[in-house]
Structure 1
Amino acid sequence: MSENNRDGKRTARERLAVEREKQKAAEKRRRALIVGAAVVGVLGLAAVIGVVAANAGKDDQGSAGPVVAPSGANGEENLAIPVGKDTAKSTLTVWEDFRCPACQSFEKTYRSTIHELTDAGQLRVEYRLATIIDGNMGGSGSRNAANAAACAQDLGRFTPYHDVLYDNQPPETDDAFSDDAKLIELAGKVDGLNTPAFRTCVEDGTHDGWVDKSNEAFGKGGFTGTPTVLLNGKNIFQDQTMTPDKLKQQVQETARG
């Protein structure tokens, strides 16, 4: 065999070897791309499943979490916070919003009379909480304050904290009650309330779901605004002649039978 033929064969073999190496390299790249795509696909599927699962969880609990009624709440779906003796012959149902200026006005006008009648065992009050100012003005102060009041109920301090909130109510456009620190600060005005249990309840929004449920009941009740005040089922807040003395007279007459 001539030298030229041998050189030609070596060159051909070398070219073939190089081509094979190229093919091997290309095959490795192809396999790597396939594996990478598979991994990305699996991760993407996992992410989708995670999002669906997370959203499913939110749908199950709602944005405010589970409905946890405060201690001692009663009435339909445990949406009422009772104050006074069960043996009282008159029941005053008060729908309120802690951001509502008209509610503050009602409280300041009728508070001492209501306390007198409940202390005497002649009147039982059912407080029901709404959040219509949050809906009208924006913010979350109505809900947060209502949750904090429910937390106070858990510790047997609802009435004094309820009164403190109205005594320190911010202007309607000021969402100051959305600040947990503010609500906790005000708890310091009530003996025995500013405790770790109360602070945790406020900061965790333990009763937010219950507050939302109460507000839904307010809407379904067909009421036009807060406060809505019912004495033995009759709307007395719409009675232009109603006064604290008249309320006291009606409750005492019912108590006497």
Structure 2
Amino acid sequence: MSEKNRDGKRTARERLAVEREKQKAGERRRRTLIVGASVVCVLGLAAVIGVVAANSGKDDGSKSAGPVVAPSGAQGKDSLAIPVGKDGAKTTLTVWEDFRCPACKAFESAYRSTIHELTDSGELRVEYHLVTIIDGNLGGTGSRNAANAAACAQDAGKYRDYHDTLYENQPAETDDAYAKNTKLIELAGKVEGLDTATFRTCVEDGTHNSWVAKSAQAFSSGGFTGTPTVLLNGKNIYQDQSMTPAKLKQQVQEANKG
């Protein structure tokens, strides 16, 4: 065999090895997105203190003191759950999330299409609870302000679309961009019909800030330790190392048969 042929075969093997490694790396990234127990935003002591601290004072014109005003259609204990899907659905997915939490974005990116499919078909009802862990851990008010804006979107009947938009445009965890109401209003422009005078006033006044604080306190007192926390009919499925969107869909459909 000529030296040229040997070099050609060696180069081909090297290219194949590089391609295999890329595939393995892609698979590892995929598992990181899907397996929940390996990636969470952890609630620390600073976050417990931050539940109060992040909701005191003013930032970017947001008011924090005042009565607890639940968003339109909020349900559950103390009206802390924002429902998506049909009330008559047999199966309920409870999701505790923080709009600044990168693990929450990873969960949403991996499971969004499956959750939309199941809620649209009437097989699943989702109850979203909003949390301010990152405000407490890193400082700032982006978690709170984004949650308030999402509650304002719920008032307008646009929660799911705005919820998804916030995750699709999530800044780096250390970048408190969502503390700026101008940013939150800018993103509302991506949701048809949301950027109205009523929505802007709700965001700028921090209408639901006290409600967000109460939700964050419920998360802490509930014994939860990280976001996202995902419960299917009360069972924590995000700790399941084998969980995938396909498995979630299967579990929902099996539960609905029972």
Between Structure 1 and Structure 2, the one with more helix by share is 1
Q: Report deviation, 1:256.
A: 2.5
1:31-42 paired onto structure 2 within 5 Å: none
1:165-180 paired onto structure 2 within 5 Å: 165-180=166-181
In 1, Cα distance between the equivalents of 2:145 and 2:250? 36
After superposition, the C-alpha distances for 1:6-33 in whole angstroms (9 at most, x for unaligned) are: xxxxxxxxxxxxxxxxxxxxxxxxxxxx
1:166-245 paired onto structure 2 within 5 Å: 166-245=167-246
Match of 1:6 in 2: none
In 2, Cα distance between the equivalents of 1:122 and 1:202? 32
In 2, Cα distance between the equivalents of 1:67 and 1:107? 28
Identical positions, percent: 76
Q: What is the RMSD computed on CA atoms of the aligned residues?
A: 1.2
In 1, Cα distance between the equivalents of 2:78 and 2:143? 20
In 1, Cα distance between the equivalents of 2:243 and 2:83? 23
Match of 2:20 in 1: none
Is the contact made by 2:64 and 2:209 (CA closer than 8 Å) also made in structure 1? Answer: no
Instruction: Return structure 1 stretches of 4+ with deviation > 6 angstroms.
Output: none
- Higher Rg: 1
Match of 1:10 in 2: none
One-letter code of the match for 1:130?
Answer: V
Q: Any stretches of 5+ residues in structure 2 without a counterpart?
A: 1-55, 57-62
SS at match of 1:113: helix
The higher relative CO (CA closer than 8 Å, separation ≥ 6) is in: 2
In 2, Cα distance between the equivalents of 1:103 and 1:81? 17
One-letter code of the match for 2:157?
Answer: G
May I ask how many residue pairs the two structures share in their alignment? Answer: 197
If the length of structure 1 is used for normalisation, what is the TM-score?
Answer: 0.75
After superposition, the C-alpha distances for 1:61-85 in whole angstroms (9 at most, x for unaligned) are: x953210000000100000000001
In 1, Cα distance between the equivalents of 2:215 and 2:257? 33
After superposition, the C-alpha distances for 1:201-246 in whole angstroms (9 at most, x for unaligned) are: 0000000000000000000011111000000000000000110000
Q: Any stretches of 5+ residues in structure 1 without a counterpart?
A: 1-57
If the length of structure 2 is used for normalisation, what is the TM-score?
Answer: 0.75
SS at match of 1:95: strand
In 1, Cα distance between the equivalents of 2:64 and 2:200? 21
